[in-house]
Amino acid sequence: MARDDASRAIGKIVSVSADRLVVELHRGSDNFTVIGFDDVHYVATLGSYLMVPAQSEYVVLEVIGLREKDFSPAYGNGSEMDKATAAKFLDVVPVGSMPVQGGSFKFGVSTFPPLYADALYARDEDLDRIFNVEQPSDEETKTDAEGAAKQGAVPHTIEIGTSAVFKDYPVKAQIDALFGGHIAVLGNTGSGKSCTVASIIQSVFDRAEEFWAIGASFVLFDVNGEYRQAFENMPWQIQASFFKATNSELEAEGLEEGFLGADLVDRFRLPHWFMTVDEWALLLRASEKTQLPALRTALGLTTLFQENPEEFVLDDPVKKDELIEIQNHVLAKIIYSILHGDASSPSKVDRILAILGTFSTDEINKAVVSPGLTIDFGQFKDGPKRETSIKYESLLELLQKHQKDEPVLPSYANKPFSFDRLQDALDLALFYEEANGNKQIRDYCSQLVTRLKSVSDNPDFEFLRASVEGLQDYDREPTHFVDRLLGLAREGTSYRKDRQICIIDLNDASDEIVELASAVVARLIFDRMRRATPRNKMPVHLILEEAHRYISERPSRFAIDAGITFQRIAKEGRKYGAFLIVASQRPSELSKTVLSQCNNFIIHRIQNPDDLSQIKQMTPFISETVLRRLPSLPKQHALIFGSAVKIPTTFRVRDADPTPNSDDTQVRDLWYVPQNPSLHWKA
């Protein structure tokens, strides 16, 4: 052992087992404090580190317990323990290794220290090697927005807090490793999750150096409405957008309705034609066996019978002719079926004219069909007039002419249509199913029809019922919607980044609206990034607050689990630059698929046994001792582990400035007022 190591020896290993080691301190000290040549070292602090030389490297041990025992004969007969002569023991576990000279710390050990090996206290320079995630900072030259060359050191790390064990010692995380994968922020309510999320994002932009994180994109689903104040006063180089899905706050502030504007708080609009068939099924709770096929047909009919047919396949006349033939077939088959149904004559006429009032073609419309509907379909006293009979027969011939081989209806193409149009299309789809012999389809789909009517009338879904006429042409396309959401502005063949943070306030929204809006927006962003060329050049981080509400391990109580979207992003998002930051107070209820794909974990106080068990299962390399600390972590303290740090570390989270609007209720101050008969309580 080197002379320097010998001067740092504080004891020897006296017990070695698979799960822990025991270090007996040298005799002659009345406490667990060691005064070294460089500083005072409190080796008895839980979470502190010792070093054991083993050939050309040090094995790093973490202190998990301390105890002492007096071996003097007098002790135990009523006398006090002799602190000076009592044996002092430290329970430790090996956590990693590092070279004796230079080199970085590596988590995990393959060889345990031998019995009676010397244990050394860790110096500050040893701590630097254990915690250090810095990389050599090379000078880089980049071009700014004006085309000027700027040279400087691009930061490799961000400071996320200070060590809970070593006073004022900064804890840093590697930027590429932290944000180059998915992150889970877990902890009980009130433990500081919101402040942690805000603090980490603020630390990304709080860099008064040569470079700013202008290219970052954070989209935050704020289900508690608490993040707006945390990002209102960002540095001038960084811009944030705030949107609210419901009208309450907008009306209170007197803001006008907009789609995606630059107002302080704008109304969030999500055009309904952006949704997929599965997302419509989620919204309308459509059952898979009967209602989903009818819904799929109805959505296909919105494509077949577009409200603006002049915009449809103008560049392909052949295909347009085919679609017109399919339109004629659908209408002809439905009208023919109604004419031969059991309903009364007036009812038949009303149904046909109602359909043609919404859906028609040049060959089949009110003007063409109405003359043939003047015949009385009941019994005649004197027999029908010849002229009327001829018109009726002509109508039947027309309808039979357009009923050829059963065509394949076009699929849903996400083209703009009004919300009311879907109700009419669903009614037409049910008529078409009845014409094909499914006479009970209307009964089976009665709940689907009622649900669609409810969504159409419910003011909470106003954000979804975008008016086609009220939007600009570029707002009708999903790609432009996502670009404006992410703050991207097209400049020729390239893009300019105008905003870095987008917060969608869903505080007043119900669980089903949160589930739907988050899934659709996340899917649109993911689809946009999958099609980007070149891919993986603009990372986007989706921050999911209260994620257990819409990324549940158990199937959604709605028809289709929206968590499927986030599971796909968790599994495939890395190669496209789409990342999740999942914040939840109930990890046991979160999707195990999503949690298993997280590269880094920041865990606050957790006390629920099911949640603790879930964390233990997903992080088998974390010691039982570390997990036992979680129920007793103070507020604003957390345990971080993963690829962004060298070693699992308990730290005090960096203060968020400003903080989110998530302060605890001060019950005492709100309850008690000075005694005064004339005083009335006021909010």
**Which pLDDT tens digit goes with each residue over 519-575?**
999 999 999 999 888 888 889 999 999 998 888 877 665 545 678 889 999 999 999
**Is the domain of 240 the same as that of 282?**
no
pLDDT at 250: 46
In a domain, 481, yes or no: no
Handedness of CA 51, 53, 56, 59 (dihedral sign): negative
- CA-based end-to-end distance of the chain: 70
Residues 332 and 407 occupy one common structural domain: yes
Same-domain status, 298 and 445: yes
Q: Could you tell me if 476 and 416 are in contact, meaning their C-beta atoms sit under 8 angstroms apart?
A: yes
Would 84 be classed as within a structural domain?
A: yes
Domain identity same for 455 and 509 = no
pLDDT at residue number 621: 66
In this structure, are 590 and 625 located in the same domain? yes
Name the nearest CA neighbour of 537 among 494, 502, 568, 580.
Answer: 494
Domain boundary among 464, 484, 514: 464
Q: In this predicted structure, what is the pLDDT of residue 28?
A: 59
Mean pLDDT, all residues of the chain:
82
How confident is the model at residue 636, as a pLDDT?
92
Burial-class residue 332 by CB neighbours within 10 Å (0-12, 13-18, 19+): buried
* Whether residues 175 and 86 fall in one domain: no
Q: Is the pLDDT of residue 266 over 70?
A: yes
**DSSP codes joined into one string, 585-627:** S-GGGB-HHHHHTEEEEEE-----HHHHHHHHHH-TTS-HHHH
**Averaged pLDDT, 366-376:** 78
**Per-residue pLDDT tens for 347-365?**
888 899 999 999 999 999 9
Nearest CA to 59 among 5, 115, 100, 103?
Answer: 100
Residues 350 and 242 in one domain: no
The verdict on residue 472 lying in a domain is: no
Domain count, the chain: 3
Tell me whether residue 266 is in a domain: no
Residues forming a β-bridge with 374:
none
| Residue 96 shares a structural domain with residue 9 | yes
Instruction: Give residues with Cβ within 8 angstroms of 121, minimum separation 6.
Output: 8, 10, 34, 36, 41, 43, 50, 51
pLDDT band at 118 (very low <50, low <70, confident <90, very high): very high
CA distance 5 to 476: 70
Lowest-confidence region among 211-215, 652-656, 667-671: 667-671
Mean of the pLDDT values across residues 284-299? 90
Tell whether 339 and 434 lie within a shared domain.
yes
What pLDDT score was predicted for residue 554? 75
Number of CB atoms found within 10 A of residue 549's CB: 18
Q: What is the pTM (predicted TM-score) of this model?
A: 0.85
Q: Final residue of a domain: which of 108, 131, 154?
A: 131
- As a whole-number percent, the residues of the chain with pLDDT over 70 amount to 81
**What's the pLDDT at 111?**
83
Is the pLDDT confidence value at 252 over 60?
no
In a domain, 155, yes or no: no
pLDDT tens digits, residue range 603-639? 999 988 888 888 888 776 676 777 788 888 899 999 9
- Name the β-bridge partners of 185: 583, 602
Q: What is the mean pLDDT of residues 3-14?
A: 82
Question: Are residues 293 and 231 part of one domain?
Answer: no
Q: Note whether 422 and 530 are same-domain residues.
A: no
Domain range enclosing 178:
162-247+500-671
pLDDT at 415 exceeding the cut of 90: no
The whole-angstrom separation of Cα 335 and Cα 364 is: 10
Provide CB contacts within 8 A for 254, sequence distance 6+.
Answer: none
Answer yes or no: is pLDDT of 299 > 90.
Answer: yes
- Is residue 447 assigned to a domain? yes
pLDDT band at 196 (very low <50, low <70, confident <90, very high): very high
Q: Per the domain annotation, does 265 fall within a domain?
A: no
| Number of neighbouring beta carbons within 10 Å of residue 434 | 17
Residue 257, domain member (yes or no): no
pLDDT band at 262 (very low <50, low <70, confident <90, very high): very low
167 shares a domain with 117:
no
What's the CATH number where 222 sits? 3.40.50.300
Domain boundary among 83, 111, 131: 131
